[in-house]
Structure 1
């Protein structure tokens, strides 16, 4: 199910100059914020949770997911170069699965790892807050990568749509509107963080069993549907 050639091409596309700058800029900004907050306020677990929840999980993780997920396949579809890949003797589900693995790896590397480091900078992992948010970021990365990979197969405006979703739904409605929280990847990931953290500073409006089931359903469903869309694209090209 995993093709090293497809993976290499996808990594090259995702870590090109422009995308790499954005991918590095967001974690760098998080670490800078963490350093400044630690310098100004000292160790404060509530502040740590606010920074990691408010910026890292609610904003940085979905934005990186947009870049990695849509960038794994969207540009190839837009410029038509996907035709050359589809002409190779590689099964379409293998292409999608490989691109998903790459997108997940990039998203975790540029979101979960910096989140853990920022947590340690802010509070030294007091009450397991850094670990909890890193786990949440990793779980959210998987779902976001699948969702935005699917989006890349559905529309040529995947980045714009993805940014609207990340900034409006996840960062705003998913954090503030009670009814929308149950349909937020952020809240599902927070359920895992709540299980890991100590002291009650990390909470979610979604129960853990429900959150795990929804994360799995979204990831699997989006991946399968993306494979179907790619198969349909192949048939259209062959016609």
Structure 2
């Protein structure tokens, strides 16, 4: 990991109007948790819907998309990546550094608010808050890697990422049994299910399978992004 690249990446990620979108997501989650805390609905069912369907199913991929593409796609689009590529740095080190920033930011903006929201809604009972937080950590890392790869592959990374998150993850991956095995959201939910001891968290993917796929996706996306970045030349428009 290169500290200079990490510092510049973090500055670029949080120094623009993008930060307003990033902060809006955890604020929304915590706001929903506070507003529904005293409702007459079943508390356990409520926490599963908010942390599972809303947070893990929607907010985590949105954060991963904005952060994962934001750490590199903008630099490639405006051409400023050439200054970084001109440095005597291995391309894999650039990618892994940017991925570290992306994963850390995604965790900070999704997993931490997830845990706080879980405590607000249900306390520490049944390890519910902990379970969903671990699920957010795992899926957040995978989303960051996948969306960073998209940022290297295409100038339309945000559109491609939204299509993946909304169509594949939310629609196909949420309801088609065969496709659920290839859903990052379901892999995170599998880890949640293995930790929560209260209430029904139904994950269609077995834990060993989910863990293996998470590792394969993170390592594979990182390696492929490094290869594609290495193929860029200083005058390239790709």
* Structure 1 length-normalised TM: 0.95
Structure 1: tracts of 5 or more residues without a match? none
* Aligned: 1:208 with 2:215: no
Aligned to 1:39: 38
Q: What is the deviation of 1:200? A: 4.4
Note if contact 2:26-2:109 (Cα within 8 Å) is conserved in structure 1.
yes
More helix by percentage: 1
Which residue is equivalent to 1:195? Answer: 194
Which residue matches 1:112? 111
Structure 2: runs of 5 or more not aligned: none
Structure 1 residue matching 2:202: 3-state secondary structure: coil
2:158 aligned residue: 159
Contact 2:23 2:109 in 1 (8 A): yes
- Equivalent positions of 1:77-156 (< 5 A) are 77-156=76-155
SS of the counterpart of 1:234?
coil
Residue 230 of structure 2 corresponds to which residue in structure 1? 231
Alignment RMSD: 1.3
CA contact (8 A) 2:82 2:234 kept: no
TM-aligned CA deviation for residue 236 of structure 1 = 6.5
Equivalent-residue separation in structure 1 for 2:200 and 2:15 (angstroms): 38
Number of corresponding residues:
236
Contact 1:194 1:200 in 2 (8 A): no
Deviations 1:2-32 (A, max 9, x none): 0011001110111123111011101111111
CA contact under 8 A between 2:110 and 2:136: conserved in structure 1? yes
- The structural deviation recorded for 1:173 is 2.2
Do 2:86 and 2:234's aligned partners in 1 also have CA atoms closer than 8 Å?
A: no
Q: CA offset at residue 43 of structure 1? A: 6.4
2:26 alignment partner in structure 1: 27
* Cα shift at 1:39: 2.3
1:76 matched to 2:75? The reply is yes
C-alpha distance in 2 between matches for 1:13 and 1:235: 20
Question: Does the residue aligned with 2:37 lie in a helix, a strand or coil?
Answer: helix
Q: Deviations over 1:22-77 (max 9, x none)?
A: 11101111111111111223661121011100100000000000011000100000
* Displacement over 6 Å in runs of 4+: none
